[in-house]
Structure 1
Amino acid sequence: MNKKTLVLGASLKPNRYSNYAVQRLVANNYEVVAFGMKKGTIKGVTVDTKLLPYKNIDTVTLYLNAEQQKAYYAYVVSLKPKRVIFNPGTENPQFYNILKENNIAFEAACTLVLLSTNQY
């Protein structure tokens, strides 16, 4: 059941959805890794500022707009996640096509809603 999740675009600011997603994932006993612009921790999860070669990533949940995502296309594909979640405001048809070409599932959904409705 433990779907190891990378929160891409994690913010240390507690009022940001990416921060709350890390908190909710931890509260629901998911293994979480995070990448953001500032190093720190959220509920014991280190926010990395360097792209690390994480292993066994099930889900990448995006908190970067379509323009910001471009720099991470190859990185996300290299992780070979089972799925990528495009949270509201992160929708990106160009990235959808790249994921399709690499047989990586994706969905435009809200991580917080999926967690609260037991659909994560």
Structure 2
Amino acid sequence: MTDSKKTVVVGATPNPSRYAYQAAHMLSRYGHTFIPLSIKQGSVAGEEIMDLRQKPLIPEVDTLTLYIGSRHHAEWMDYLLSLSPKRIIFNPGTENPEFMQKAEEQGIEVVAGCTLVMLRTGIY
């Protein structure tokens, strides 16, 4: 098993049909600490979803994995960057050139990829 990477699942959901739900469960199975963060309420993989609207302070973030559409990024971009993650994974459908550029300018690794595939193939 790889070292645990504290991951914030942005757009977490208790809905089992969503990729964000699957990602939370897979992160847990692969031994990674994850923080579900969303405007949705409930819990996923045994963790209570934190309210994105409250912009909670989350220390020592390794990875943000995005499951919110790019049309919602402007509202949350500055807050998410303020968490100072080492990397941001833009899952399919969440790619955003402006957000990606801002992250890179702050020295954050930007990955256009799929968290689920990255975990399954051991490149997470």
- TM-score bracket for the superposition, by shorter chain length: over 0.9
Distance 2:39 2:81 in 1: 20
The match for 2:31 is 29
Distance 1:38 1:4 in 2: 21
The match for 1:62 is 66
SS at 1:35's partner residue?
A: strand
Distance 1:15 1:35 in 2: 17
The match for 1:104 is 108
Distance 2:14 2:74 in 1: 22
Distance 2:45 2:106 in 1: 33
Shift of 1:15: 0.5
Q: How does 1:1-120 map to 2 (within 5 A)?
A: 1-49=3-51, 50-120=54-124
Gaps of 5+ in 1: none
TM-score using structure 1 length: 0.96
Q: Is the 8 A contact 1:7 1:32 kept in 2?
A: yes
Identical counterparts, % of pairs: 38
TM-score using structure 2 length: 0.93
Distance 1:92 1:38 in 2: 22
> Alpha carbon RMSD of aligned pairs, Å?
0.8
Deviations 1:30-53 (A, max 9, x none): 001011122211111111113210
Shift of 1:71: 1.0
SS at 2:118's partner residue?
A: helix
